[in-house]
Amino acid sequence: MRNAVGAVDNVLVLGGTSDIGMAIADALVNRGARRVVLAGRNIAALEAAADAFRDRAETAVRFFDAASTESHAALIAELTEELGDLDVAVLAAGVQPDQAAAEHDPSIAVEAATINYVGAMSISLVLANQMRHQGHGQIVILSSVAAERPRRSNFIYGSTKAGLDAFAEGLGYALNGSGVSVLTVRPGFVRTKLTKGHTEAPFAVEAADVATATVTALDAGRSVVWVPPQVRWIMSGIRHLPRGAVGRIKR
């Protein structure tokens, strides 16, 4: 629930060591959020990440495995028991597999689909049910511009984000009138540990830029935000290119 000055009380980041997820939590704490929960698979890394918040907010870490869908309901029930209502949940868990490796080893592609789409769908539905019950809440789903049109260089990753993007849009429709909203965040190239060593695309941004745009979109009650805004028009152009032209795009 937002307080009298518009700040949310607690923030859950699923994929709690994500640079973007942490930046969004940081922006919300700077706005007045009092509790942060970082959830992910690597408890040691989560504890280290939590140090960024401990002097400003009550902070906790929890084990969360997107692929372990049978554990999702219990996690959210436990957090609700401890925190009361969940105000903002940021779904930042995801992997970006090496395209060539995934093409030669289907298990890599399956793992990416399981984490990025199946697991994301599962935890989002659990969150939606809880937030619907409490009558309020905001779910932030980190998608990607790669969801807009498959390209030769990243179609496995892009396909997982395309599925997630479609799901997020539909979930938002299903939650209309419930007091719960879904915000889909579609960043372009973001400088994070995930993209370190990759050739930057035009209009590259920092995780903090994504966080600022996300918080602004949450305040405005928007359903989609592109970061930076220019990538929306770039991807619109790519979406309308002939199939043969898209197949020749190298990146």
Tell me the catalytic residues: 157
Tokens 């299903």 belong to 174
Q: CA separation (Å) from 168 to 31, 117, 144, 181, 212? A: 26, 10, 12, 10, 21
Interatomic CA distance for residues 163 and 101, integer angstroms: 21
The strand ranges marked E within 22-168 are: 35-40, 58-63, 88-91, 137-142
* Per-residue b or e along 81-90, where b marks 16 or more CB atoms closer than 10 Å to that residue's CB: eebebbbbbb
For residues 33 and 142, is the Cβ–Cβ distance under 8 A?
no
